[in-house]
């Protein structure tokens, strides 16, 4: 006997979050004639079993020798069985035993499998190893032998046997849920929820549970059919209770009289066949209904990329500024991040030091793979578990972040330190309305009531330039554009009034005109709220437009750090010069004064960046808008 396992089809719909909500799934289900027929049949069978006392006055256990193998009559509409019991009464009451037994087995399997799968998939580590081992062990056990032993040991207690069967089915549920959770925990919107400071319990409840609901329901429907088959099989073998009517025991009796009254097989056989088929087909219909709303695979933004050959060569000496300042918001010193690989340890961030002051925008620049995002994630405490992180200091407003526990770090993230990601769409959970996603961190961090949080969120949506905040508040992520989604995320990032904002290539996924608008927005919000900002970018145009200081990274190490104007006017490190030169490669040669304007406009590709009129910033003589605190790179 093979217990149900998590098949690929079922796992594939795991992240298939109901974009249009449960109502959409139900509508689709009700449009499927097979599903409707199955639901109707199952409802009919359940109701008939439930109201058996109203449908027959016969006692299913009472036997009368005079009615043995009685033909159909007014007294026995479906005749009598071998020992003179009423077949209709046994069919109706037998449905209770079969359905309840199967429900019990599925409930036990779900109660064990779902929490274990959630914890193993979300937290991994030792619990995952142990529970996977136990699950493999249980799957290797021949279930029918175990059930025969249980039945003979506990005296033919059907429900106990079904509870044991539930335990034996739980590995199937465990594996399915674990696979679903693993597939969704790396989603960017789950990271975004972590960044916004939500606790693990909340993330699991809000973002993971909705994803595992669907496969659990599908698996549950299929397991119900299997539970009925197993339970009837045991009863057919004569292992059930002698006093309890069931479809399996009816088959057992019919089998003994197969030559004298073969039609006795028909009723329990039909009931079993219809019920099991209906559960199976309903499971398939549910899967199809959910498939129709599948959100197809999104690209994780921080999967490992391969380092270029020669990337391990030592960086030239760092030309850096003094690290500590009185108004330092964040002081990072000697950050090293490495990963274990088959070839040994791979260091991706190598001794990075930087300082961000209050109200200052620090650009973190370097080509792809230079370790910018890894540095940002290290500050946010969001590196993958396998990352080995070491720092001399990572002090945020006097608090050493490295020493904070998980809960304390959660309080910092989203509240004091916020994050704007690269791919706005992937960072919004497709199954929740925008408003719900924005309101939750605000309520948690600022302790506002639902109504206050809603008002604040609507105000923020308006502030970030969304003309119809009410509509966006009510929309699902797929109903808004990428640029709008980035505005939403920026609104979310500043909603708890953070001191430090980390923006990782916030405009990369947007088209050129939207890039310029989003940069404008970030600049004005930053100056309005006097936030410290770390702006991760590979784009010197963005640096020129937004940043006060810039730190250049190459193959995991800082090679140069300077005020923007100084860096543009007199880059010290050959790598910085090379980056600047490659940015200017396609540009017309200009005089020294207009050089930086060219950088801004051509590199950002941002029409209007150089000449943008920004109420919060000033435009310098080179046409480069800076936030008013520092001279532009003229």
Ligand X SMILES: Nc1ncnc2c1ncn2[C@@H]1O[C@H](COP(=O)(O)OP(=O)(O)OP(=O)(O)O)[C@@H](O)[C@H]1O
Which residues of this chain interact with ligand X, rule CB under 6 A?
302, 304-305, 307, 339, 346, 348, 366, 368-374, 384, 538
At closest approach, how far in Å is the CB of 536 from ligand X? 6
**Residue placing its CB nearer to ligand X in the complex, 58 or 301:** 301
In whole angstroms, how close is the CB of 308 to ligand X at the nearest point?
A: 8
Taking alpha carbons only, the member of 404, 372, 382 closest to residue 190 is: 382
Q: Which residue, 249 or 426, is less far from ligand X as judged by CB? A: 426
At closest approach, how far in Å is the CB of 304 from ligand X?
Answer: 4
- All residues at 6 or more sequence positions from 165 whose CB lies less than 8 Å from its CB, including other chains: 105, 108, 143, 147, 227, 230, 231
Give the shortest CB-305-to-ligand X separation in angstroms. Answer: 4
Task: Determine which helix (DSSP H) or strand (DSSP E) holds 570, and give its type and residue range.
Answer: none
Supply the minimum distance, in Å, between the C-beta of residue 572 and ligand X: 21
Burial readout 151-166 (b: 16 or more C-beta within 10 A, e: otherwise): beeeebbbeebbbbbb
Q: Which is nearer to ligand X, 310 or 398 (CB)?
A: 310
Tokens of 462: 């308006």
Q: What is the CA radius of gyration of the chain?
A: 33
Q: Among residues 304 and 578, whose Cβ is nearest to ligand X?
A: 304
Toward ligand X, which CB reaches closer, 225 or 369? Answer: 369
Distances from the Cα of 411 to the Cαs of 195, 288, 416, 417, 500, in angstroms? 10, 41, 8, 9, 14
CA 225 to chain centre: 30
Cα–Cα dist 241/235, whole Å: 8
Least CB distance from residue 553 to ligand X, whole Å? 7
- Phi-psi category of 454—alpha, beta or left, where left has phi over 0 and alpha has psi -120 to 50? alpha
Question: 368: which 2 tokens?
Answer: 């792809």
Token duo for residue 308? 């270029």
| Residue 327 DSSP SS3 | coil
Closest CB to ligand X among residues 155, 303: 303
Minimal distance, residue 28 CB to ligand X, in Å: 38
Ramachandran angles phi, psi of 531, nearest 5°: -85, 150
**Nearest distance from residue 340's CB to ligand X, in Å?**
9
Shortest distance in whole angstroms from residue 373 CB to ligand X:
3
Q: Count, in order, helices (H) and strands (E) of the chain.
A: 25, 13
State which residue, 373 or 627, has the beta carbon closest to ligand X: 373
Give least dist CB 384 to ligand X, A: 5
Shortest distance (Å) from residue 310 CB to ligand X: 12
CA 356 vs. chain centroid, Å, equals 32
For residue 413, what is the DSSP state? B
Helix (H, G, I), strand (E, B) or coil at 202: helix
Nearer to ligand X, 307 or 358 (CB): 307
How far is residue 100 from each of residues 104, 281, 412, measured CA to CA in Å? 6, 20, 49
CA distance 576 to 260: 96
CB atoms within 10 A of CB 626: 26
Q: Closer to ligand X at the Cβ: 177 or 579?
A: 579
With residues binned 3-state (H G I as helix, E B as strand, rest as coil), the percentages for the chain, rounded to 5, are 55, 10, 35
| Pairing status of strand 393-396 against strand 388-390 | unpaired
- For ligand X, give the closer residue by CB, 342 or 407: 342
């Amino acid at each position: 006997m093979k217990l149900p396992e998590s098949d690929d089809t079922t796992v594939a719909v795991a992240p298939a979050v109901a974009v249009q909500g449960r109502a959409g799934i139900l509508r689709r289900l009700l449009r499927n004639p097979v599903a409707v027929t199955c639901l109707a049949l199952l409802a009919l069978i359940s109701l008939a079993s439930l109201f058996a006392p109203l449908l027959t006055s016969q006692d299913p256990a009472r036997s009368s020798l005079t009615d043995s193998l009685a033909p159909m009559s007014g007294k026995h509409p479906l005749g009598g069985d071998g020992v003179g019991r009423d077949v209709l009464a046994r069919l109706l009451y037998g449905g209770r035993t079969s359905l309840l037994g199967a429900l019990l087995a599925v409930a036990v399997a779900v109660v064990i499998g779902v929490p274990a799968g959630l914890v193993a998939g979300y937290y991994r580590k030792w619990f995952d190893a142990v529970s996977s081992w136990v699950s493999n062990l249980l799957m290797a056990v021949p279930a029918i032998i175990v059930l025969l032993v249980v039945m003979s040991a506990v005296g033919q207690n059907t429900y106990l046997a079904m509870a044991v069967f539930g335990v034996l089915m739980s590995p199937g549920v465990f594996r399915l849920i674990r696979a679903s959770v693993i597939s969704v925990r790396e989603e960017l919107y789950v990271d975004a929820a972590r960044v916004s400071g939500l606790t693990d319990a909340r993330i699991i409840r809000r973002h993971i549970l909705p994803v595992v609901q669907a496969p659990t329901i599908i698996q549950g429907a299929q397991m119900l059919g299997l539970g009925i088959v197993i339970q009837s099989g045991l009863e057919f073998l004569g292992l059930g209770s002698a006093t309890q009517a069931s479809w399996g025991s009816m088959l057992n009796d019919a089998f003994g009289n197969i030559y004298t009254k073969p039609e006795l097989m028909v009723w329990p056989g039909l009931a079993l066949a219809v019920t099991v088929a209906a559960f199976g087909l309903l499971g398939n219909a549910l899967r199809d209904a959910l498939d129709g709303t599948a959100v197809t695979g999104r690209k994780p933004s921080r999967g490992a990329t391969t380092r270029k050959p020669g990337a391990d060569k030592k960086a030239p000496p760092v030309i850096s500024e003094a690290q500590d300042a009185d108004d330092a918001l964040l002081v990072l010193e000697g950050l090293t991040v490495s990963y274990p690989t088959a070839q040994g340890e791979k260091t991706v961030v190598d001794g990075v030091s930087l300082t961000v002051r209050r109200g200052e925008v620090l650009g973190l620049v370097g080509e792809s793979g230079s370790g910018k995002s890894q540095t940002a994630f290290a500050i946010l405490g969001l590196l993958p578990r396998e990352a080995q992180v070491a720092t001399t200091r990572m002090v945020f407003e006097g608090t050493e972040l490295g020493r904070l526990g998980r809960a304390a770090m959660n309080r910092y993230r989203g509240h004091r330190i916020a994050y704007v990601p690269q791919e706005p769409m992937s960072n919004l959970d497709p199954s929740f309305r925008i408003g719900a996603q924005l309101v939750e961190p605000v309520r948690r961090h600022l302790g506002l009531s639902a109504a206050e949080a809603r008002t604040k969120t609507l105000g923020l949506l308006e502030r970030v330039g969304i003309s119809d905040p009410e509509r966006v508040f009510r929309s699902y992520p797929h109903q808004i554009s990428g640029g709008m989604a980035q505005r939403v995320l920026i609104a979310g990032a500043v909603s708890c009034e953070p001191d430090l904002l980390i923006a990782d290539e916030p405009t990369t996924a947007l088209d050129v005109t939207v890039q310029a608008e989003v940069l404008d927005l970030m600049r004005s919000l930053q100056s309005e709220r006097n936030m410290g900002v770390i702006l991760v970018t590979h784009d010197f145009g963005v640096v020129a437009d937004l940043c006060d200081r810039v730190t250049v990274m190459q193959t995991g190490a800082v090679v140069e750090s300077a005020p923007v104007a100084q860096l543009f006017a007199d880059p010290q490190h050959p790598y910085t010069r090379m980056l600047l030169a490659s940015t200017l490669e396609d540009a017309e040669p200009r005089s020294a004064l207009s050089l930086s304007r060219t950088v801004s406009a051509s590199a950002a590709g941002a029409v209007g960046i150089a000449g943008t009129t920004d109420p919060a910033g000033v435009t310098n003589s080179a046409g480069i808008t800076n936030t008013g605190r520092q001279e532009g790179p003229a």
